[in-house]
Structure 1
């Protein structure tokens, strides 16, 4: 940003309430700054219109519309609104939650991509946010990588930002910019190009989300870089190359990328939840013939030969180990992408050693006690496999399930002993219920034993 367009300087105070710290970035209508709320001391993001746009009535209306929309939305996947201010000079300020992160565009520009399970995790998070705004009768209309913020490199905490182009007229072609174009050409739905009656609605956001997820998965986005000529690539349903991504992700994308919005999937949350469940089921049920090639799992150090009675069960655990650990690490986000890919291999090797041990639960306890990202991720992967493996004794499965529950439980959560940065009461409850069911199974088994 040039000196002539920069509106605020570090140290300046807005309305005696917010002290400007630094420039975060420049958008279409102005600039966004990191600031401090002087009353509470917490950081915020302050968006201010540039002088040129402040003189444009239509731009002012867009800015006011963004603040109105954000005030109505309350969801963890949507940037949180704090207040709107106007100073004596007539400048408008939108004060929002400050999130320490980078836009999705930042990672894509560096060639980083996600595996299918993580793409679905990101999709589910954004689907939950879109479900919230669509329920309020809003359409974002500009779902694109630069409007998706990734806090702390964790895609499972992604947030949608920039509601300046949002419309509150679902099912019509009316908006505050009339029939003019809104959105980024690379990630626009066919109806935004004027096809299918130019009727922009919830399905428009769903299509854009599908294109974004294609990009994140490493697939070529039809029409990207062609400008308005992209309309020729969006007239028909987009077919997905299923050889490079998982079948559940392929199925989701094909539902989202139907050309006619009338036939497009718009009930996003159940769609993604089912795909996530299908992915977990496929990985957990992977047969021996589908085991990852040797290059995918690093060679393990020499181990003590297992006792004769344990060899077959131990082999069954190791066959699916690589996939199970990758599933367990699915929420780790961009920290495990690109140049950081070796973290997964280390965790796979550590989990493999734990499952080869004569007392795998003791080895898992040792990993947890040692701590560190690799050890904790390996412990979780091992526990997930032990908890779900029908070959294991019910007591082992119960102990493993309880250990996972304690990693989630707010009463026992310890970042030094859990791979999860924050507790999750709902997840803890699910695993405690599963442990209780295993206890009942063990009791029933004991009653029928001679």
Structure 2
């Protein structure tokens, strides 16, 4: 008798999850609702969680501040309640525009891709968890030194040594990403973060539109083909990015660094020549690998 009641109630619940009255819900909307019900069952909670985050996440992480926000995602600084260490938690924005299963899928996808790269110049991913309301939450090391974009906004001046340190870190990180069989596809000043331990502490963040070399994802292409402000000409024309597209962005960043450099001379000129080579409109005229680009950088002696 009890199982008959459970079966009947479950059938009613399933109808609500998959139908709006007599109209079949969009499959992605249904999946998002099912995720929220599943999260409530996992918690042993009799009610669905609402969008605002709880004070304590997974019984472990306490929210300290909202560090960054776009129309699609939010990034919080959270602190481990027992260890006292800070982390970055990235999740979907609760706004109406991102209340959609496709963006949750993209965030889970980002977590899987980012976990495949481990390098001192790539922001460390510690995995993912499900928030009480069903949203995915990605956990990263906290980078307290801000971004290269913020440094540019503050009009901070760089030395040639500083430019070289940043580019060594950047190209080392790109090498690791490419060695993992990935293309980052969104290397921009906003996605280059500092831990706070000097310019050489630069690390590459945000794998939201990264992809495996040579792959084409309908999910990814349908949502964000490429949003990079430093997109290469071939990507701007609608082609999928490859390793040379990442190197184009590195060349553009080197040009920006030199614009903020307080020194001139032969070394600056040689770095500018390397930047133009990296950012050549024709991908066949660029260095063909991050390793080659790093070697060319090292040949420019201070």
Question: Structure 1 stretches of 5 or more lacking a match?
Answer: 1-5, 220-241, 281-450
Distance 2:200 2:92 in 1: 31
- Does the 8 A contact of 1:34 with 1:45 survive in 2? yes
**Change beyond 3 A, Cα 1:7–1:146:** farther
**Number of aligned positions between the proteins:** 247
1:215 maps to which of 236, 250, 256: 256
Q: Which has the higher strand share?
A: 2
Question: Structure 2 matches for 1:85-124, cutoff 5 A?
Answer: 85-124=129-168
Q: Does 1:22 align with 2:44?
A: no
Secondary structure of the 1:33 match is strand
- How far did 1:153 drift? 6.4
Q: Does 1:8 align with 2:53?
A: yes
RCO (CA 8 Å, sep 6+): is it higher in 1 or 2?
2
Q: Which has the higher helix share?
A: 1
- How far did 1:55 drift? 2.4
Q: Which residue of 1 aligns with 2:32?
A: none
Spell out structure 1 runs of 4+ moving beyond 4 A: 172-175, 242-245
**Change beyond 3 A, Cα 1:116–1:175:** farther
Distance 1:271 1:155 in 2: 19
Q: Which residue of 2 aligns with 1:48?
A: 91
Distance 2:297 2:253 in 1: 17
TM-score normalised according to structure 2 size: 0.74
- Does the 8 A contact of 1:151 with 1:158 survive in 2? yes
- How far did 1:175 drift? 5.5
Q: Which residue of 1 aligns with 2:188?
A: 144
- How far did 1:214 drift? 0.8
1:61 maps to which of 105, 114, 132: 105
- Does the 8 A contact of 1:252 with 1:272 survive in 2? no
**Change beyond 3 A, Cα 1:172–1:71:** closer
- How far did 1:251 drift? 3.2
Q: Does 1:262 align with 2:284?
A: yes
- How far did 1:128 drift? 0.8
Is the radius of gyration larger for structure 1 or structure 2?
A: 1
- How far did 1:28 drift? 4.9
Question: Structure 2 stretches of 5 or more lacking a match?
Answer: 1-50
TM-score normalised according to structure 1 size: 0.51
- How far did 1:184 drift? 2.5
